[in-house]
Amino acid sequence: MNQSHNRYLLILTVIFAIEWAFLAVSPHDRSDWVLENALVAVFVILIASTYKKFPLSRVSYTLIFLFLLLHEVGAHYTYADVPYDEWLNNIFGYSLDESLGFERNHFDRFVHFSYGLLLAYPIREVFIRVADVKGFWGYFLPIVLTMSTSMMFELFEWGAAELFGGDLGIAYLGTQGDIWDAHKDMALASLGALIAMVVTALVNIKLQRDFAKEWNESLAIKGQLPLGEDQIRRYLEEAGKN
């Protein structure tokens, strides 16, 4: 990466480190904070260990940075107790919950939506640069991966809640009594990813000259022969010849 790219990533890292350190002090539930930061630690290590050989764009790093900032707020307060409505009341004299008729804390819903909205593009960048996906698949696969990882996280939350149980399990799961909480979270993440990919597609339609050609070619049939048992037979025939 060039020097300006490195400097930009360093600035994001320092800002995130400051926020992390500030919110690590006296979180509302230390055990929940540790659980919430376990995956963050894995993710940050992955980003740090790959940035030299596989640097992402500034857009992708910025989107990841914004998501991590939001997540750390939820980790500090626990997602069910982030006082966003109190902040709005103190600053603007306005209650979002009252205006929209919310009966629960919706910060967790917002972050699940942000997961799709903010991380679908970095996922798309990885797909394009590693798997060389093109056209339709460059927009469809990021949505699918966002949906699947959102589902995997809900399973991870369920497993952690079952393992630890008690107040920690309830705080980490954060369903707030909604039996459809996981379904709504996954739907919001999927919606966020869909919006991100629609916006990306609209930008590319405007700027990419061969957008339509690439899109059509991505949906064209590449292999005329069926796979499955036919492919196994071909493998066996090739092995017999050798």
Q: Report the range out of 4-18, 31-45, 92-106 with the highest average pLDDT.
A: 4-18
Domain count, the chain: 1
> 171 falls in which pLDDT band (50, 70, 90)?
low
pLDDT (tens digit per residue) in 100-137: 888 788 899 999 999 999 999 999 999 999 999 999 99
| Contact by Cβ (8 Å): 153, 95 | no
Q: Return d(Cα 143, Cα 124) in angstroms, integer.
A: 9
Mean pLDDT within 160-180 = 63
Of the candidates 174, 186, 180, 170, the residue with the CA atom closest to the CA atom of residue 108: 174
Give the DSSP per-residue string, 44-60.
HHHHHHHTTTSPPPHHH
Q: Return d(Cα 240, Cα 229) in angstroms, integer.
A: 16
With a pLDDT cut of 90, the percent of the chain lying above it is 67
Query: CA separation (Å) from 210 to 133, 135, 202, 204?
Result: 15, 10, 13, 9
- State the sign of the Cα–Cα–Cα–Cα dihedral 232, 233, 236, 242: negative
SS3 label, residue 103? coil
Q: Return d(Cα 60, Cα 25) in angstroms, integer.
A: 29
- Residue 1's pLDDT is what? 61
> 3 falls in which pLDDT band (50, 70, 90)?
confident
Q: Return d(Cα 102, Cα 75) in angstroms, integer.
A: 22
Residue span of the structural domain in which 181 resides = 3-241
- Residue 242's pLDDT is what? 73
| Contact by Cβ (8 Å): 137, 197 | no
Is residue 174 predicted with pLDDT exceeding 80?
no
Q: Report the range out of 31-45, 93-107, 206-220, 225-239 with the highest average pLDDT.
A: 206-220
Mean pLDDT of the chain: 90
- Residue 8's pLDDT is what? 94
pLDDT (tens digit per residue) in 47-59: 999 998 999 999 9
Total count of residues recorded for the chain: 242
